[in-house]
Structure 1
Amino acid sequence: MDGGDNDSRQGSTLVIHQTTEQLIARCIAPVKKDFLRPPPVRTSSQNDDIPIPNDKPPVLAKEKKSKRQLKRERRQDQKSTRNLCPEISKSGDVNSCRYKDKCRFSHDIEAFKAQKLADLEGECPFLKSEGPCPYGLSCRFLNTHEESTVSIPSSNGLKIRSEVNGFSKDVQKLLWKNNMTFPKADAKLKSLGLFKMLQGQSKSKVNDMENKDGGDKCDQSEDNGSCAVTSDLENKDDDDKCHQSDDDGSCGVPPESGSKLECSEEVIKDDDNNGELESDVLCPQKRRKTAESGDGEKIENEGVSVTDQNVDGSCIRSEPEAGTEAITPETDLSLKLHSREKKLIDFREKLYLAPLTTVGNLPFRRVCKVLGADVTCGEMAMCTNLLQGQASEWALLRRHSSEDLFGVQICGSYPDTVARTVELIEKECTVDFIDINMGCPIDIVVNKGAGSALLTKPMRMKSVVEVASGTVDIPITIKVRTAYFEGKNRIDSLIADISSWGASAVTIHGRSRQQRYSKLADWDYVYQCTKKAPNNLQVVGNGDVFSFVDWNIHKTQCPELATCMIARGALIKPWIFTEIKEQRHWDISSGERLNILKDFVHFGLQHWGSDTKGVETTRRFLLEWLSYTCRYIPVGLLDVVPQRINWRPPSYYGRDDLETLMASDSAADWVRLSEMVLGKVPDGFTFAPKHKSNAYDRAENG
């Protein structure tokens, strides 16, 4: 086994000879000495055989391929015998594909069977569903299909794959062609005086664009103001989607023509607010230019729809095109609910699983629901990517039927972008609340003016929350950090106003953006903000909750706190929800932990698919999660209980071989664990954690 690096092994000598108090002072977990791994003893002859670190072979830089080249390679790969047409795979009939020779996938069943990998052990995750396995011949558990010819309904009467919030192809095409209308958002922008400012700027801007050969185009890359770091591994390739059940077998990639959106980076400053970007409402997407010249804008004041506009930042069309229909509002905006009359959502005393990048996927949330989580929230989705119809970003909004209190988290820089996104989500998805991320510390998000960057622009924060809460009836919540810069906390000065903006709740992460995760969260400041909050604003605390003791302390110190959000604590030990509800330290065995991993794999195969692609996607996300779970130290091995989240585990042995394997911080051992539940990895398989999550105090661990 490869567990433990040289530094941790060499440090074992120091750990053995230090007292418990000395170890805790150095943030080293006080593991019982009987389980500590002794330092390696080397003879002089052995030392002579140790390779010099500087003799490592040079790492060759990977050739950077253009998007056109990557797309061409994906198309060629789709046509190979490894990728059987989904329709043919499901039915087993070569004539079932409606596209015939024009299909982008292979139709050679025999060639596919000849190169298909061996079936995995276990049963098909769709065996007990109300219909046949949707992956048919491609399923890696094909041998179990013959064992049960009669489908068995699930105990709750729902299908095994009971997921909602799927992305409609019709809506996607409207977004690709820039034909979607947002009447509620535009009307709210107009009522706040933001829409008129946009209108005043649009004419000169359009004229400038017309003198530049139609302006700068973008192809949904980093230049369009969207975040290039997406929250799912599938987002790296437009072709790598979670679901392959679409009838047309499309990969979710926009068409080559007629789908590119124009971009704008212009902002408007308000001199009355000392340069604060109160009117920073321009969406980074430039909209279609109208054929009219001069003052071609016309606004309908009756309040139902806003059409025929040539306003920068409005995702609308002048006239419906053939084959498409404009989306019209279904209610009179004059009857819009006041923020105090909206549906309320109660977070008090509920166990809230934080939205977690990459690892907070739907299968992981299902695991946490089984273990006691009350509230779940999807991974952060970028507004610009949602408005561009990126299927990989919309996959982050999917919800399972077991998530009875579910929200989605979005991130945007401008009020108009956020308003149109929440209107679209309300129309297309079933969610209980929408959370706006104003605390993300990642550079590529902050550089676009989103996430923590909004903390430096309180007037824009106000505009974003006001227009979002005024556009939809779904409760709007926000998530913030204490400040952008260390030592310059500012949420306490805004907390009294956040409720009047229209937010139902605010989550305060007790760290600044500059701090990232380098120090413990400042809960005293969270308490201070909570006590200043008005009674109608629920405050959720966030940071370093790792046991029921932490939970109890925060609730005792500040009874006004609605609840605590649990983030990294759930990644390291998802059974923390059970511990809090049962008020006990669970000395969970390695076998019980392995069963939790098996549950994740089962849920993952249902979500990403039971074919080879789905199996490997499930494996990748499992490995990302294992890069966190290795930091858990079993209760029975500690001299002091409970474990603190900032304690570094020394190199130690577990109570059995499996527990020792689970304690390893080596990616090779994580791969071995994945093979125990998902079979052998493919030849040439490699893995490196995406978020360097085995780091404790590095700034990049954000």
Structure 2
Amino acid sequence: MSMHVLIKINVVSAMTLKPLWLRFAGTHKDNAPAATSNLLKKSSEVNGLNKDVQKLLWKNKMRFTKADVVVKSLGLAGPNWKVKKLVDKEEDEVGLDGSHAADKTDCKKVVDDSVDCSECPSTFPAAVNAEEACETDELRPLKKAKLVVDEKSSDEGEGATVLEKDNEKNSAETEPADNVLAEPDRSPKISNLKDATVLEKYNEKKSAETEPADDVHAEPDKSLKIHPREKMLIDFREKLYLAPLTTVGNLPFRRVCKTLGADVTCGEMAMCTNLLQGQASEWALLRRHSSEDLFGVQICGAYPDTIARTVELIEKECTVDFIDINMGCPIDIVVDKGAGSFLLTKPLRMKGIIQAASGTVDKPITVKVRTGYFGGKNRIDSLIADIGSWGATALTIHGRSRQQRYSKLADWDYIYQCAQKAPCTLQVLGNGDIFSYLDWNNRKTDCPELSTCMIARGALIKPWLFTEIKEQRHWDISSQERLNILKEYVRFGLEHWGSDKKGVETTRHFLLEWLSYACRYIPVGLLDVIPQRLNWRPPSYYGRDDLETLMASDSAADWIRISEMLLGKVPDGFTFAPKHKSNAYDRAENG
């Protein structure tokens, strides 16, 4: 493409979309948090991978001090690696279909035959070895708890470790009988992991009462691990959250959604193994634009040590507000590696991953899941109370199982059930089939416990959905207004991927991927029943003008014609087929 054509496109885009640009600029100026605004003002995009760090990752010489300490303290690495293998073996006995071998314990079975060890008896008959009978992952941290020491702290006198506190308690209990008149120990007795929190509060209160008065203003011991409740929290309530969208949820698309009213954005799902190998293409998924004032990244991994190292690396190298762990991805290549929705069959591994991530970084850790692995075998309701105690600050529930993919409507009744069971410290977000402001209103009205609703495919088909929700109206958007949004996307794409030949074709490729969804939109003025539903298969129709008819086509040849209106002629021999597979695109041929 010649340079004068590109200049002409950019000039037309700027003239046509001046109001949107002014709206975007105002959003950036007014809404960016003070904590990150200075960093984001230095460049329009941040979170690039440092070349020196990339070389260390390539050579496998990067050190992950915090992550390794936390994982080891949880008994998931080093000499305790066998424990992890045994846990996986126990879970494999449960099986994906929910069948379970005969238990040797008195643990109570809950939904989907997962074991609720919080209700295990605290005492066992003498004939039973209690440690072998019910030494679940809930009890091991109490025995193997260690202080997570900050890598910068080297003074031996800073703070007593948990192990030292346990030794002091044991020595006090084994003192001679002449101490019977001493004040009795009123500390609560531990019967399960939940009681550990009570013990921690008691120890803090007791130490505060016995400290000298001149130490009241002493600097706190920074070597002590921060309590999860003291971490920075993000209030998702009533915020419009654009879901992390594979392939189409790139930075230019997120910028478009920000101009149209999105409050929270999240990068595309990145695989932890690829990030730890320093793959530039995977790190590109973490890029953040200055307009994204509340931004998170989503990662996906199969094991606690991999996740812990990844979050430590992200906290060091990136500017993000939260880190989301994907435990719901249904894609076969992800599930086959033991990640994504496969983790729904491994609750103890889920626990290890969340604990390792939250214990390694101070950033809020959020989790995204589906209702279960198989349809009809939901299990999140039995885990949601534990997910909050493991260290997650928010949980997004997609109302479908992995087996269902998108073949059925989202089960919002089950999402409501989970939200009502969640502890007050865990924010619950619903996800599935939000396609109008009425859908949004109904979900929030039916279940006030929901913090907000995540918007995914609805934003792909009509990104102005965020505007509709905020303005509480059905926007009968014209074909020219829709074309202006596409022009804005092209401008953002050329800024992000470059305006050379490669950048133009990359922008075209992702524009075509987006158009393969956008063609599903049916204009409000042509509907007999309002609003349009997400599961409706769009009929063939003639629009109110030729451009609207062209945008409604499900043929890839017509999508290419639209791209040529914005980016010029395609190269010789160019073809396109959408990356996603859907029955709605059987006729997506190239002419």
TM-score norm. by structure 2 comes to: 0.72
1:163 counterpart = 2:45: yes
What does residue 431 of structure 1 align with? 320
Aligned-partner residue type, residue 676 of structure 1: M
Secondary structure of residue in 1 paired with 2:494: helix
Secondary structure of residue in 1 paired with 2:355: helix
Whole-angstrom distance in 1 between the partners of 2:6 and 2:147: 64
How far the C-alpha of 1:684 sits from its partner, in A, is 0.9
Aligned positions of 1:413-452 closer than 5 A: 413-452=302-341
Whole-angstrom distance in 2 between the partners of 1:271 and 1:503: 22
Verify the 8 A CA contact 1:358 1:379 in the aligned structure 2.
yes
Which protein, 1 or 2, shows the higher relative CO under an 8 Å CA cutoff with sep ≥ 6?
1
Would the alpha carbon gap of residues 675 and 160 (structure 1) be closer, same or farther in structure 2, given more than 3 Å must change?
Answer: farther
1:268 counterpart = 2:85: yes
1:175 counterpart = 2:57: yes
- The equivalent position to 2:5 in structure 1, one of 120, 132, 136, is 120
What does residue 506 of structure 1 align with? 395
Whole-angstrom distance in 2 between the partners of 1:123 and 1:665: 29
1:364 counterpart = 2:249: no
What does residue 187 of structure 1 align with? 69
How far the C-alpha of 1:695 sits from its partner, in A, is 2.7
How far the C-alpha of 1:649 sits from its partner, in A, is 1.4
- Count of aligned residue pairs for this structure pair: 447
Would the alpha carbon gap of residues 301 and 437 (structure 1) be closer, same or farther in structure 2, given more than 3 Å must change?
Answer: closer
Q: Deviations over 1:450-491 (max 9, x none)?
A: 000000000000000001000000000000000000100000
Whole-angstrom distance in 1 between the partners of 2:88 and 2:580: 41
Verify the 8 A CA contact 1:375 1:406 in the aligned structure 2.
yes
Aligned-partner residue type, residue 430 of structure 2: G
Aligned positions of 1:200-239 closer than 5 A: none
What does residue 337 of structure 1 align with? 226
What does residue 380 of structure 2 align with? 491
How far the C-alpha of 1:334 sits from its partner, in A, is 3.1
Whole-angstrom distance in 2 between the partners of 1:159 and 1:305: 31
How far the C-alpha of 1:198 sits from its partner, in A, is 4.9
Would the alpha carbon gap of residues 540 and 574 (structure 1) be closer, same or farther in structure 2, given more than 3 Å must change?
Answer: same
Secondary structure of residue in 2 paired with 1:378: strand
What does residue 459 of structure 1 align with? 348
Q: Deviations over 1:600-638 (max 9, x none)?
A: 000000000000100000000000000000000000000
Would the alpha carbon gap of residues 538 and 673 (structure 1) be closer, same or farther in structure 2, given more than 3 Å must change?
Answer: same
Verify the 8 A CA contact 1:630 1:662 in the aligned structure 2.
yes
Would the alpha carbon gap of residues 124 and 424 (structure 1) be closer, same or farther in structure 2, given more than 3 Å must change?
Answer: farther
Secondary structure of residue in 1 paired with 2:584: coil
What does residue 568 of structure 2 align with? 679
Would the alpha carbon gap of residues 609 and 694 (structure 1) be closer, same or farther in structure 2, given more than 3 Å must change?
Answer: farther
Verify the 8 A CA contact 1:124 1:610 in the aligned structure 2.
no
What does residue 206 of structure 1 align with? none
Verify the 8 A CA contact 1:517 1:696 in the aligned structure 2.
no
How far the C-alpha of 1:694 sits from its partner, in A, is 6.2
Verify the 8 A CA contact 1:411 1:437 in the aligned structure 2.
yes
Would the alpha carbon gap of residues 274 and 646 (structure 1) be closer, same or farther in structure 2, given more than 3 Å must change?
Answer: closer
Indicate the larger mover: 267-276 or 513-522: 267-276
- The equivalent position to 2:366 in structure 1, one of 463, 472, 477, is 477
Q: Deviations over 1:173-193 (max 9, x none)?
A: 000011100010011012212
* Unaligned residue ranges in structure 2 (runs of 5+): 15-24, 30-39, 95-145, 153-219, 587-591
What does residue 552 of structure 1 align with? 441
What does residue 235 of structure 1 align with? none
Q: CA RMSD in A?
A: 2.7
Identity among equivalent pairs (%): 77
Secondary structure of residue in 1 paired with 2:296: strand
- The equivalent position to 1:396 in structure 2, one of 273, 276, 285, is 285
Whole-angstrom distance in 2 between the partners of 1:595 and 1:160: 29
1:408 counterpart = 2:225: no
How far the C-alpha of 1:199 sits from its partner, in A, is 6.2
Would the alpha carbon gap of residues 357 and 188 (structure 1) be closer, same or farther in structure 2, given more than 3 Å must change?
Answer: same
Q: Deviations over 1:14-70 (max 9, x none)?
A: xxxxxxxxxxxxxxxxxxxxxxxxxxxxxxxxxxxxxxxxxxxxxxxxxxxxxxxxx
Structure with greater helix percent:
2
Whole-angstrom distance in 2 between the partners of 1:302 and 1:553: 45
- The equivalent position to 1:643 in structure 2, one of 517, 532, 545, is 532
Would the alpha carbon gap of residues 128 and 387 (structure 1) be closer, same or farther in structure 2, given more than 3 Å must change?
Answer: same
Would the alpha carbon gap of residues 271 and 456 (structure 1) be closer, same or farther in structure 2, given more than 3 Å must change?
Answer: closer
Whole-angstrom distance in 2 between the partners of 1:534 and 1:563: 16
Aligned-partner residue type, residue 578 of structure 2: P
Aligned positions of 1:251-330 closer than 5 A: 268-270=85-87, 273=90, 303-304=149-150
